[in-house]
Amino acid sequence: MTLLDNVFELIDLRSFSNLWFWIALAVTWSTVSHWVLGVPWDMAMRARRGHGETAMADFEDMVRINTGRLLYVAEQSGTLLAGMMAFGLSSLAILGFVYGNEFSQALFLLGFPLTGVGLLSLRTARHIRLEAPRGEALVARLARHRLAVQMIGMASIFVTAMWGMYQNMTIGALG
């Protein structure tokens, strides 16, 4: 085997039979559920447990900063970002499910649910700006958001696993 064969074996574009894809999927959803609106979840837990006055103040400041940042980006370039995301996801869906490109299918199955998480984050950020919850109410709001993100993640992993098994059985039967 040449070096080029080794590289292509390591970076196999048959995503659903590749361990690296499944590691990336797990790391992605783990990271997304840990960083709730850009705030690490352990910071929320420290604030909830009452580790000093500064823990809650730091948590509230972090949520305020990240909420403002998220809403600013949405207000300034939300239409452009929505168009780019729609184009990218549509391209991946067509390449993947119409033309049978497995790599595009994998990217779509990873990106589409993350788009839902992004929209959910915008909704939560708007609620936080309007209601201005503080203390335990803010932690509870982020906990509900995190639970919804985890539900989306579980559904995404399930659908991706089912589609991946189907693809591997289909290609295994053909090959």
With the CA atoms of 139, 130, 66 and 112 taken in that order, what torsion angle do they form, in degrees rounded to the nearest 10?
A: 90
Residue 117 lies in a domain: yes
**What is the predicted pLDDT for the residue at 88?**
97
12 found inside a domain: no
CA quadruple 81, 76, 130, 58: dihedral positive or negative?
Answer: positive
In this prediction, what percent of the chain has a pLDDT beyond 90? 73
Beta strands in 38-135 (DSSP E): 39-40
Establish if 73 belongs to a structural domain: yes
Judge contact between 12 and 18, C-beta under 8 A: yes
In a domain, 95, yes or no: yes
Q: Domain of residue 135: give its range.
A: 41-170
Asked if residue 21 is part of any domain, the answer here is no
Residue 78 inside a domain? The answer is yes
Are 109 and 20 in contact, with CB atoms under 8 Å apart?
Answer: no
Contact, 111 vs 160, CB < 8 A? no
Q: What is the pLDDT of residues 20-55, one digit of tens each?
A: 889 999 999 999 999 999 999 999 999 888 777 788
Q: Is 99 part of a structural domain of the chain?
A: yes
End-to-end CA distance of the chain: 21
In the chain, the number of structural domains is 1
At 173 the pLDDT is 57
pLDDT of residue 167: 87
Predicted confidence band at 66 (pLDDT cuts at 50, 70, 90)?
very high
63 — pLDDT class (breaks 50, 70, 90): very high
Which residues have CB under 8 Å from 14's CB, separation 6+?
102, 103, 171
Q: Where do we find the tokens 């949405």? A: 74
pLDDT at 156 over 80: yes
Q: Is residue 8 part of a domain?
A: no
Give dist(CA 86, CA 122) in Å, integer. 17
pLDDT higher than threshold 60 for residue 150: yes
Q: Distance between CA atoms of 99 and 116, rounded to whole angstroms?
A: 25
The token duo for 157 is: 């992993």
Looking at the predicted structure, is the pLDDT value of residue 15 above 70?
yes
